Amino acid sequence: MPQKKRNAATIIPPTFEPLEGRTLLSAATATAVVESSAASVYSQPVLITATVTPKAAGTLAGTVTFKSNGSPIITLPLNAAHQASVSAKSLAVGIDKITAIYNGSSTFTASTSTAVTHTVTAGTTKTTLAALTLAPVLGQFVTLTATVAPLSPSVWVPAGTVQFLDGAAVIGTATLNSAGQATFTESQLFLGTHSISAAYVATSQYKASKSAVQSLVIKKPVMTTLAGGLQIATVHVGTGLGAVAGQYLKMNYTGYLTNGTKFDSSLNPGRTPFDFKLGAGQVIKGWDQGLVGIKVGEQRVLIIPPALGYGATGQGSIPPNATLYFIVQLLAFNTSKLIVGGGANFAVPVTNNESPLTTNGTNFGTIKVGASGAVTKFAIGNGGSAPLMFTAHPWVQLSGLNAADFVLTPAVVDPSGNFATFTLTFKPKAKGQRVAKITIPSNDPLNPNFSFQIIGVGA
């Protein structure tokens, strides 16, 4: 039987939209983290491993960031086994919550592990004091060196401070360098045997430790005895010129009684170096006499008899008729220095005991008798670091065989306050060479009576 004719169906071909610009769904991942141990000491290496598991087929790549308490430790790439590992030494002392974060890729989503807990305690240390091989004399500088090392399994060099001790007394503190060493220079220990050690001060990362005790014997230096029984020894040389009376000295010092009792020191906590004027009676006689000639950086030992110290009355903790030991060091001295200038703008120096010169105005040349005279103006300044004080009145004095041929206008302080000026006028009363002298007394310790000649010729 013939079949019924069917209508032809309309075939609609499929259409495809381009993928460009569309976001594809990424496959999920799961990240897990494990540690080699649940506890360690500070700076002990701890192996932390992260494993990222993909939830779909594909090539898993990318990086993992390790964090401790939310702070990044390091970011590392995954290996072929989908793992990353770090040997962490920087975990902080305390409880550390460690996580690993897979940072995702174009085909896999990011994921964060569950935190694992790790406990870090302070590391232990060993402190060693370098061998004391010197046999120092009183006041001699001795350098003490301590080394602080971490004990295994800690690996990082400790930071912090070391205390140096004489018995139980702290004599100095120093900061450890990057190699774990600290040095301290000591020169104030008294005569006798001292028990020296070094102690590392505990920090949040490392526990305290103390070195073995070593004996240090301080002996008396060879002394020079001066008039009045004062004894002096230089145990460390200085540089430059020696101090003279009238200069302002800045000193560090430590004073002892003969039984070793320390009665005073400028090096005590909260103290500062001592300033005084040498030779002015501001200190005991033993100092005024025993510090003459001392140079900057020089360290001396003074043994001062009672007559040059505090005598039969004593003072404070110093008993009557006490012999005193002092270790003294000159840090600096301030001194006044009188300078004189003449000529144009006072630019040409006039030196002490200088012969007359035309350039600085001390040689007035030839002037007719009875004429109005030649005038020179001079400036007085201070080239030192201590106040300059004039010690006579008037400040500038005119004298000499022919002083009447010169007219001195008294010195006055310039409005700037930085210098003083005075004027000399040559008015010859007779023919021939006329000579006089200018003297400026001051507290300049090297030239307390600064003077120079002035000369002119009457025609």
Rounded to whole angstroms, the Cα distance separating 239 from 288 reads 20
End-of-domain residue from the set 218, 242, 272: 218
Based on the fold, state whether residues 329 and 265 are members of the same structural domain: yes
Based on the fold, state whether residues 138 and 33 are members of the same structural domain: no
Residue 453 forms beta bridges with which residues? 437
Question: Does residue 237 form part of some domain?
Answer: yes
Question: Does residue 13 form part of some domain?
Answer: no
Question: Does residue 2 form part of some domain?
Answer: no
* 266 backbone φψ class: left, alpha, beta (φ>0; ψ -120 to 50): alpha
DSSP class of residue 106? Answer: S
Closest CA to 128 of 48, 198, 58: 198
Rounded to whole angstroms, the Cα distance separating 180 from 158 reads 6
Model confidence pLDDT, tens digit, residues 385-433? 888 889 999 999 999 999 999 999 999 998 877 899 999 999 999 999 9
Rounded to whole angstroms, the Cα distance separating 411 from 290 reads 38
Q: How many CB atoms lie within 10 A of CB 453?
A: 16
Helix (H) or strand (E) holding 206: none
Predicted confidence at residue 443, as pLDDT, reads 87
Give me the residue label for tokens 């990082």: 156
Based on the fold, state whether residues 353 and 454 are members of the same structural domain: yes
Largest CA distance in the chain: 174
Count structural domains, the chain.
4
Question: Does residue 4 form part of some domain?
Answer: no
Predicted confidence at residue 371, as pLDDT, reads 85
DSSP conformation letters of 415-434: TTSS-EEEEEEE--SSSEEE
Based on the fold, state whether residues 176 and 275 are members of the same structural domain: no
Rounded to whole angstroms, the Cα distance separating 63 from 60 reads 10
DSSP class of residue 286? Answer: H
Based on the fold, state whether residues 57 and 157 are members of the same structural domain: no
Based on the fold, state whether residues 155 and 54 are members of the same structural domain: no
Question: Does residue 274 form part of some domain?
Answer: yes
Question: Does residue 186 form part of some domain?
Answer: yes
Q: What is the CATH number of the domain that holds 77?
A: 2.60.40.10
Cis geometry, peptide bond prior to residue 153 (ω within 30 degrees of 0): yes
Based on the fold, state whether residues 328 and 387 are members of the same structural domain: no
Predicted confidence at residue 239, as pLDDT, reads 93
Predicted confidence at residue 446, as pLDDT, reads 86
Q: Which residues form the domain of 71?
A: 29-121
Give me the residue label for tokens 């964060």: 112
The residues carrying an active-site annotation are 253, 263-264, 284, 310, 326
Based on the fold, state whether residues 151 and 55 are members of the same structural domain: no
Q: Note the pTM of the prediction, 2 decimals.
A: 0.72
DSSP class of residue 12? Answer: P
Describe the strand order of the beta sheet including 142-150 as a list of residue ranges.
125-129, 142-150, 181-186
Predicted confidence at residue 13, as pLDDT, reads 61
Q: Supply 117's token pair.
A: 């807990």
Predicted confidence at residue 19, as pLDDT, reads 46
Q: What is the CATH number of the domain that holds 312?
A: 3.10.50.40
Q: Supply 371's token pair.
A: 């004429």
Based on the fold, state whether residues 356 and 299 are members of the same structural domain: no
Question: Does residue 20 form part of some domain?
Answer: no
Based on the fold, state whether residues 314 and 360 are members of the same structural domain: no
Based on the fold, state whether residues 106 and 136 are members of the same structural domain: no
Rounded to whole angstroms, the Cα distance separating 72 from 201 reads 30
Residues 381, 342 contacting (CB under 8 angstroms): no
Question: Does residue 377 form part of some domain?
Answer: yes
Predicted confidence at residue 7, as pLDDT, reads 52
Amino acid found at 100: A
User: Per-10-residue mean pLDDT for the chain, 459 residues long?
Assistant: 50 55 74 97 98 94 97 97 97 97 96 98 98 91 97 98 97 97 97 97 98 97 96 96 90 98 96 95 97 96 98 96 98 91 94 95 94 90 88 95 96 85 95 97 91 96
Rounded to whole angstroms, the Cα distance separating 262 from 189 reads 10
Closest CA to 295 of 229, 326, 251: 251
Based on the fold, state whether residues 168 and 261 are members of the same structural domain: no
End-of-domain residue from the set 173, 197, 218: 218
End-of-domain residue from the set 121, 142, 168: 121
